[in-house]
A and B are shown apart, each in its own frame.
Chain A
Amino acid sequence: MKLPSLTALLDLSWSRVFAVFLKELVQMRRDRPTFAIMIMMPIMQLVLFGYAINTDPRHLPAVIEMREDGPMTRAFLASLQASTFIDIVDIAYTSEEAEAALRSGQATYLISIPEGFERRLIRGERPQILIAADASDPVASSGAIGAIERIAQSAFAPEFQGPLNFLARAPPPYEIVVHRRYNPAGVSAFNIVPALLGVILTMTMVMITSIALTRETERGTMENLLATPVRPLEVMIGKTTPYIGVGAIQVAIVLAVAMLLFRIPFTGSFLAFLIAVTLFIFANLMLGYLISTTARTQMQAMQMTFFIFLPSILLSGFMFPFRAMPGWAQAIGEALPITHFLRMVREIVLKGAGLSDVLNDLWPLALILIVLASLALLRFRRTLD
């Protein structure tokens, strides 16, 4: 038996190579959406995430609880306002008001100056400035705490002059006490694990439904389906509902792991959680289905899924503190179902929120769901045109 020679194995015609190369080039040019995604994806992601990712979070929202109104506390407040670390969103005069802002996620910090602060300061009683930080997102909460200490130092320094010169000493004549709320130990897993549920559901629900119609088109079965009297809404519902069950199983698994393995306390309303997660699954299914009305091949559908998936991780508050992102990045985040789900799941699981606490994010999620479903229905082609 003759073995094929090395030259036979290496026999290669550059003209054939070129022919194949040209053919691929032509095919790539014909497949405009894939081409556009291939080009646009890295550009957009560089631009988006390059600006949005911020490991030194600034402009985090704070609510100030002012129980005292004197020259020194006003100077402190002015310094806080001038600081870029925190943005004062509200000045509360009762602690209920301040606590509500922290719980609803309107504020990441609650800075509380007690009554008689100045008097006790001068008497040398070391009054406390209380910082309550929402530690359900440890990255967001830890950054600015140190900053607030420095702000206090520089704000009070000019005040400790003349007759009050004796106060300009170390340690300072006041004490800054930090309370980490909702996640006292600052455990990252408390922040990540409930949020991971959102990421897992986004990934799988969108991906599965994104090929729902695409596969029919690609395999040629769409023609037969359209030749029957089936209606677009019937196809939409019929094709997405099987995955609600898949989503439910995923929810159960993540919850079980979160509670048994990570010992995450489920402090809030289970009903609120069920409503939030159901709405979120529906929204993701519709998002995937919308993709499948647009993508012509399964490959395109996959690429579009990732196009949704990356901002869902990076711009939703999953990886980086939402409030520390620039405004336009927050605007994109607000349009993603996962952003609203993440806030709700953190509030419910970690902060003990009930249904009324999460309404702020429940209605935007419902709105997104309705918009996605309507777009998908409108885009469904009743004909092969």
Chain B
Amino acid sequence: MSDIVIDVRGLTKSYGGRKVVDDFDLTVPRGAIYGFLGPNGSGKTTTIRMVCGLLKPESGAGSVLGFDVLNESLKIKERVGYMTQKFSLYEDLSIRENLEFIARLYGLDRRDERVDAALEDLGLSERQEQLAGKLSGGWKQRLALAACMIHEPEVLLLDEPTAGVDPKARRDFWDAIRRYSAQGVTTLVSTHYMDEAVQCDSIAYIAYGKKLLDAPTAEIPKQVGLFGWRIAGRPLLQAQHMLEAAPGVDIVARFGAEIHACSKDAAALERAVRAVKEAQPHVEIEPIEAGFEEIFIYLMSGALDNFQ
């Protein structure tokens, strides 16, 4: 069996003449956790839907688990677990009924056993007769994950699975995903959270339908080549204004009592920061490594420039 699980090339989709996804390539090896990042409306959901056969790409081709995304979507659907961004199980069915319904659609054997196991895993055995619509947001997410795992898929496509979920539930969620990954399940997960992004093996960054970055997570700072300085102290407003006005400074981001200023031009950045120090002697300055937060803010602003 091939070690490439998701392999798509040139996927394109447009709505009303606007290209929502433009010439998108992605290669995901078996067992990987692939993070899918990008601002709202960047085409993440559309891409995931094309990968699992819910949308027909206008052009492009590819395969998932060796099955063609254009012609063999039913075979793909049988082997993929897709978790939608919006809760899409039946609110008027109980937790158990939902899981049973999905299990039946996949034609699973030992259905009761699997549903029992899933409920046990979820910690919802006690509440299995409760209507799904009565669950809180975090529990709905857990139920949705259990539902898309019940047929033991080889690939998980998760579309912002932790949006609006509390930090504890998010941590549990990621523990589960890492456990599946260790068992050889391949995961493509879209997220807005940087702390989740860093847990991925690789990251694809998409903005305005175009993929801007695709690399192993550890290599991303080097690839982007962003330099950073920290400016700390109070007050900071004056310093912030100076940095924003300074030439060659790409990002000025406020983090509580400090400012992170980043740029690809290390010399220009250092000049600007030192000028601030001169004018505002009470601040402390220090060079730092640019974090993911800054990198993605930088990417987003860069992408914007390309399209303006």
User: A residues within 8 Å of B by Cβ?
Assistant: 219-231, 382-385
B153 to chain A, nearest CB (A): 11
Interface membership of B198, Cβ < 8 A: no
- Asked if A383 and B53 make an inter-chain contact with CB atoms under 8 angstroms apart, the answer reads yes
Chain A residues in 8 Å Cβ range of B87? 220
Q: Which of B78-86, B168-176, B220-228 contacts A (4 or more CB under 8 A)?
A: B78-86
Chain B residues in 8 Å Cβ range of A385? 55-56
- Asked if A223 and B54 make an inter-chain contact with CB atoms under 8 angstroms apart, the answer reads yes
Interface membership of B74, Cβ < 8 A: yes
Interface membership of B90, Cβ < 8 A: yes
Interface membership of B193, Cβ < 8 A: no
Interface membership of B89, Cβ < 8 A: yes
Q: Pick the contact of A227: B52, B56, B90, B91 (CB < 8 A).
A: B52
B18 to chain A, nearest CB (A): 15
Q: A229-B74, A229-B78, A230-B105 in contact; A224/B89 too (CB < 8 A)? A: yes
Chain A residues in 8 Å Cβ range of B90? 219, 221
Chain A residues in 8 Å Cβ range of B105? 225, 228-230
Chain B residues in 8 Å Cβ range of A225? 105
Measured CB to CB, the nearest residue on chain B to A226 is B54
A147 to chain B, nearest CB (A): 59
Number of A-B contacts (CB under 8 A): 49
- Asked if B88 and A223 make an inter-chain contact with CB atoms under 8 angstroms apart, the answer reads yes
Chain B residues in 8 Å Cβ range of A227? 52, 54, 77, 80, 82, 84
Q: A227-B82, A229-B74, A229-B77 in contact; A219/B54 too (CB < 8 A)? A: no
Main SS of the interface on chain B?
A: loop
Interface membership of B26, Cβ < 8 A: no
- Asked if B102 and A228 make an inter-chain contact with CB atoms under 8 angstroms apart, the answer reads yes
- Asked if A219 and B77 make an inter-chain contact with CB atoms under 8 angstroms apart, the answer reads no
Chain B residues in 8 Å Cβ range of A230? 105
Q: A228-B77, A383-B55, A385-B55 in contact; A220/B106 too (CB < 8 A)? A: no
Chain B residues in 8 Å Cβ range of A219? 88, 90-91
Measured CB to CB, the nearest residue on chain A to B52 is A227
Q: Please, what's the 1-or-0 string for B27-48, where 1 marks a CB less than 8 Å from any CB in chain A? A: 0000000000000000000000
Chain B residues in 8 Å Cβ range of A221? 88-90
Q: Please, what's the 1-or-0 string for B103-120, where 1 marks a CB less than 8 Å from any CB in chain A? A: 001100000000000000
- Asked if A224 and B55 make an inter-chain contact with CB atoms under 8 angstroms apart, the answer reads no
Q: Pick the contact of A383: B56, B91, B102 (CB < 8 A).
A: B56
A227 to B91, CA, bound (A): 18
Q: Pick the contact of A229: B84, B91, B106 (CB < 8 A).
A: B106
Chain A residues in 8 Å Cβ range of B52? 227
Interface membership of B277, Cβ < 8 A: no
Which positions 57-88 of chain B face chain A at CB distance < 8 Å? 73-74, 77-78, 80, 82, 84, 86-88
